[in-house]
Structure 1
Amino acid sequence: MRIAQVIGKVTLNRVHPTLKGCSWKVVVPLTRAGIEGDEAGRGEPIVAYDDLGAGNGHMIALSESAEAAAPFTPNQKPIDAYNAAILDSINLA
């Protein structure tokens, strides 16, 4: 699981039948430097499934790969990245 920042939303013309009504966000994965505000710590933007209602600028916990589809078991959904949590605060030690 990684931390990412929401930078936009996606509007789809067509969607897989199992994903009708879903919300999609454009997010940027962050390293520790990115969380601390350094632009060099921001990764390439990706699209993530969001059913929690994250908005622009929110920090989220991003689940990827097979773990992203796990919350929907036994139903099969073609998801590669999933918003697992909206983060209120991040404390770095």
Structure 2
Amino acid sequence: MRLGRVIGRVTLSRQDPAFRGARWLIVSPMSRPQLSRPDEEIVSASASAVVYDDLGAGRGDIIGFVEGAEATAPFDRPTPIDAYNAAIIENLNYQPAN
């Protein structure tokens, strides 16, 4: 699982019926320096991810998302998805190792 900040939403004109009731978010993955300052909305230099969300995360929220084969685990049948929102992080305390 990786942590990231929601920076936007994707609007689709058509989508697969398996995705009904949810939405797609644009998420900026958080790096170690960003984890130490979670209150600052800094967009990561790494590529943003498009994440399937059925939990209701909004712009500015920090989420935990999974990618790859693990992202398809919540679905009953094979579903074409690359990233899935697994958690909305309410409080983040990060202490880097010395």
* Range into which the TM-score falls when normalised by the shorter chain: 0.7 to 0.9
**TM-score calculated relative to the size of structure 1:** 0.87
Match of 1:61 in 2: 64
SS at match of 1:48: strand
Q: Which runs of 5+ in 2 are unaligned?
A: none
Alignment RMSD = 1.8
| 1:35 has 2:35 as partner | yes
CA contact (8 A) 2:25 2:53 kept: yes
Could you tell me how far apart the structure 2 residues matched to 1:22 and 1:42 are? 27
Could you tell me how far apart the structure 2 residues matched to 1:55 and 1:40 are? 15
Q: Which runs of 5+ in 1 are unaligned?
A: none
CA contact (8 A) 2:64 2:85 kept: yes
What do the CA deviations read for 1:32-53 (whole angstroms, capped 9, x no partner)?
Answer: 1122348585421111000000
Could you tell me how far apart the structure 1 residues matched to 2:21 and 2:87 are? 19
Moved beyond 3 Å, runs of 4+: 37-42
What do the CA deviations read for 1:10-56 (whole angstroms, capped 9, x no partner)?
Answer: 11012123223321100011111122348585421111000000010
Q: Compare the two structures and name the one with the higher helix fraction.
A: 1
Identity value in percent: 46
